[in-house]
Amino acid sequence: MSNRLVPYAGALLLLQGLAACSGENSTANQVMPPAAEVNVSRQAAPAADTRLVVAFGDSLYAGYGVLPQQSFPAQLEAALKARGIAVTVRNAGVSGDTTAAGRRRLAFTLDGLDRKPDLVLVNLGGNDMLRGIDPEETQANLTAICEELKRRGIPIFLTGMIAAPNLGSDYARRFNAIYGDLAKRYDAGLYPFFLDGVVTDRTLMLPDRIHPNPRGIDRIVAKVAPQVAGVLEGA
């Protein structure tokens, strides 16, 4: 793990410990608790001159433990509108999703939209890491997701994760490289670590120490929104 990632070691060790205690067959439900799946096709169609962004991920997008209007997609939409961008951000986060689960539902999610998105944000891999899934499998699933988005001509923005240090240096090296490699390969936007500056601050996390609270989400949005705005404005 690089020196830049060292401050997250303790928090990630805690996350790994919680995952280990949950049992093999229920890890995802314990680490990223289930939430009602969002049927993005049921939401009102955005106006023709409004950008459509889809936040496709796990509970960190779904908004576990917070009100719907406090979730990352909702707050990202508000921040982008405050910058003068006409945009709708659809919440396509499903708690507990691994990259394999996301890969299986991607086409269904996209086909259920009223039109092609202007951008898809992808945040998957955290549950893979907490389960100790081989990074090669994680990368293969994320590659398939990016390939499908590329095939449909949809720009990609990745928000990444980093590996818990007790998974070992080899695992961390292979896992942590995934998001940067994919960003280069698919010319995607990249925010390397979704919980950057948040996971180490108890005041910004829910009591489970896994998910950000509303203040933590605001902190993340403040960093991510300018980058997403740049992608939308440059499109």
Catalytic positions are 59, 208, 211
Query: Distance between CA 122 and CA 135 in Å, rounded?
Result: 17
Work out whether the CA dihedral 73, 41, 234, 150 comes out positive or negative.
positive
Three-class SS string for 10-38?
Answer: HHHHHHHHHHHHHCHHHHHHHHCCCCCCC
With 0-12 CB in 10 A as exposed, 13-18 as middle and 19+ as buried, what is 82? Answer: exposed
CB 74 within 8 A of CB 38: no
Q: Which of 139, 160, 162 has its CA nearest to residue 3?
A: 162
CB 222 within 8 A of CB 79: yes
- Alpha-carbon distance values, 167 to 13, 129, 162, 198 (Å): 9, 9, 11, 21
185: its two tokens:
């390969």
The C-alpha angle with vertex 43 and arms to 123 and 144, in degrees rounded to 5, equals 30
Query: Distance between CA 59 and CA 218 in Å, rounded?
Result: 16
